[in-house]
Chains A and B, each alone.
Chain A
Amino acid sequence: MEKLLEVKDLEIAFDTHNGSVHAIRGVSFDLYQGETLAIVGESGSGKSVTTKALMGILAKNGNVINGEANYMGKDILKMSKKEIVNLRGKEMAMIFQDPMTSLNPTMTVGFQIKEAVIEHNEVTKKQAKARAIELLELVGIDSPRARYKQYPHQLSGGMRQRVVIAIALACNPKVLIADEPTTALDVTIQAQILELIKSLQKKINLAIIFITHDLGVVANIADRVAVMYAGKIAEYGTADEIFYTPVHPYTWGLLASVPDMSNTDVELYSIPGAPPNLLYPPKGDAFAERSEYAMNIDLEYQPPMYKVSDTHYAATWLLHEQAPETFMPKVLEKRIELMKKEAEEYAKA
């Protein structure tokens, strides 16, 4: 697989009235062609900010203070405005949470798709229209010719999100960044949109960065998962590694605090406290304050990324060779056991 994107030691700070908020504190990851990388984390963990930096749409008070983001060998963060405009849409596209606010209510959906096509390609209006209708069909909208003339308010939430996806795909991008695209939708519609995204990915070999806080959605769509906490990646690995053999205490807490419908008898674990205020970033491990596994070193030094397997890395001192042997919470251990058993049974049936 070809490596499309390589982010290294990204650091971003926002200037605010109260001082500089260090929102991203050293984030590194790769993205390969045709794969889905899910970024999970709570609000404020920096998952949206990271991807906005990649698209060059950071808020005005946000500054990249360190790091690089190489897209096919070229650093996006050092590109001129013109280069970024060329990259956006054609190479990388982004969809957002609320399909109502990302569409213009005063223009037909057809016009909005056509606009994206014309902006980046040298085509006649007729060709652009044909392409727009083709795109509507691609994203699974019935009678695309009729829908072409309709306004966003005439479509349901799921339909609107399909239109947004059509616009994003208008110029055949290689990378699609989806920022919580199903959070505002009902579960049944969410399932449809996830299926659509997966089928499109197969058809046009898209690489997808999928941001969400819903672990069910992650399990459904992700090949690899990065868990973010307080502006850093706490753990990353394949979906199976993160869900069945997690090693970071934050991942443990996160997994144990979501009820799984099939075994709700298992007690729900709650992480005490709240995430740190990044106006005053913690000196050591950001999660130490909330972790029952914290050691003295966690309060003083930030842990490096330890390698668990070729695809699985985690930033926690617990993986240091001198750290005492620790085990995940009993609740989670039990849950994972049940999950594995259930998955086996399901696979057999």
Chain B
Amino acid sequence: MQKRDVILEVKNLKQYFKTSRKFTVKAVDDVSFKVYRGETFGIVGESGSGKSTTGRSIIKLYEPTDGTIIFEDTEITGRLDSNTEKMLRTKMQMIFQDPMASLNPRKTVLNIIAQGLDIHKLYATTEEQDEMVYQMLETVGLSREHAHRYPHEFSGGQRQRIGIARALIMNPSFVIADECISALDVSIQAQVVNLLKLLQQERNLTYIFIAHDLSMVKYISDRIAVMHHGRIVEIGTSDEIYHNPIHPYTKSLLSAVPHPNPVLERHRKRVFYDKSLVNYDDGIYHELEGDHIVLATDEELKKWMVES
């Protein structure tokens, strides 16, 4: 990271869901982090850890229970005036997991991709709109002939490219990719990830990349946040997280990932994690050397530093 310009800051974000009169699910519980311009910020965690909810709260698909989110120096929590709303809805975009479920089957690709342009009236003539869509299709590796087809005529990888085109046509600066490659085949995953990387360089995009596949997250991310039970337990550069994990949960998660390396696999030892031994409620974020943040109480941190 060259200049460390903060594009998004999340402070004490809480997202609770009241499931019944007595019971509240604390999906995201007091989470804070910063995302710098031009980087890829990965969020990993097991299912139910709150990683998707975090992404969805940031883009305001949910109304956060508490906390503030500052995007491009503007606070985007609470009620927004129409200018801020417009800025948010164009500058921040999302790519979803299931490319079949997230594309309207009754619309042509052209209409799907152009919908954002329609809403924000970003073109003067229909020809101009078509031209923008055609160009976008070529950018994501499809061709203009594809514009008048329907989603079911495409393969999974192509559909995900349509999802990417829909997000990028608004010319965003910030894209949240929520498990956007999980539903794809191995060889197609690599295509989509390489495309995302290329587009990032060309357009200076910032990504939040949410996934449960640790090796892919490590490959694409500059920094990684590890989530567990609604908390971010550790944030660091991807090398730092991988080579020097402090939090025992991160260690256990890393040790569970199988490597495509048979000899290594025969020797790999798993690290077990017992959540009852770690106090999340009293933990505070400790900043360590090398851009590394750990959620822990003072005693816990001391203990873990000795172990690692």
Contact = CB atoms under 8 A, between A and B. Distances in A.
Interface in A183-218: 186-188, 190-191, 194-195, 213-218
Interface string A258-274: 11111010001111101
Interface of B: 46-47, 155, 157-158, 185-191, 193-194, 212, 214-216, 218-219, 238, 242, 252-254, 256-265, 267-268, 270, 273
A342 interface: yes
Chain A interface size band reads 35 or more
Nearest to A250: B187
Instruction: Decide if the interface of chain A is mainly helix, strand, loop or mixed.
Output: helix
A346 interface: yes
Contacts of B264: 219, 339, 342-343, 346
B186 A42 contact: yes
Contact of A186 (B155, B194, B212): B212
A259 B219 contact: yes
A271 B187 contact: yes
Interface string A53-93: 00000000000000000000000000000000000000000
B18 to A, nearest CB: 22
Contacts of A220: 258, 265, 268
Contact of B191 (A187, A215, A270): A270
Contacts of A191: 256, 258, 270
Contacts of B155: 274
A243 interface: yes
Contact of B187 (A214, A218, A254, A342): A254
Nearest to B257: A187
Contacts of B187: 42, 253-254, 257, 270-271
B256 A188 contact: yes
Given A261-B215, A268-B190, A270-B190, 11 more contacts: A186-B47, A187-B214, A216-B265, A243-B260, A254-B187, A261-B257, A261-B259, A270-B194, A272-B191, A274-B188, A346-B267
Nearest to A239: B262
Contact of B186 (A243, A257, A339, A340): A257
B263 A347 contact: yes
A240 interface: yes
Interface of A: 42-43, 186-188, 190-191, 194-195, 213-220, 222, 239-240, 243-244, 253-255, 257-262, 264, 268-272, 274, 339-340, 342-344, 346-347
A329 B83 CA distance: 51
Nearest to A256: B190
B247 to A, nearest CB: 14
A339 B256 contact: no
A190 B256 CA distance: 8
Contacts of A213: 185-186
A258 B260 contact: yes
B258 to A, nearest CB: 3
B46 A187 contact: yes
**What 7 pairs across the A-B complex have the smallest Cβ distances?**
A216-B258, A343-B263, A257-B190, A270-B190, A259-B219, A215-B260, A186-B46
B215 A264 contact: yes
A191 B214 CA distance: 14
A36 to B, nearest CB: 12
A164 to B, nearest CB: 18
A217 B258 CA distance: 6
B262 A42 contact: no
B234 to A, nearest CB: 16
Nearest to A348: B267
A271 B265 contact: no
A299 B268 CA distance: 43
A169 B81 CA distance: 62
Contacts of A194: 258
A243 B258 CA distance: 14
A262 B241 CA distance: 12
A244 B218 CA distance: 23
B256 A259 contact: no
B32 to A, nearest CB: 25
A215 B257 CA distance: 11
A259 B218 contact: yes
Contacts of B189: 257
Contacts of B268: 220, 346
Contacts of B188: 42, 274
Nearest to B141: A272
Contacts of A190: 256, 258
21 contacts: A187-B253, A188-B46, A195-B270, A214-B258, A216-B215, A219-B260, A219-B265, A244-B262, A254-B187, A255-B260, A258-B260, A259-B216, A259-B218, A259-B219, A260-B259, A260-B260, A269-B190, A274-B158, A274-B188, A344-B263, A347-B263
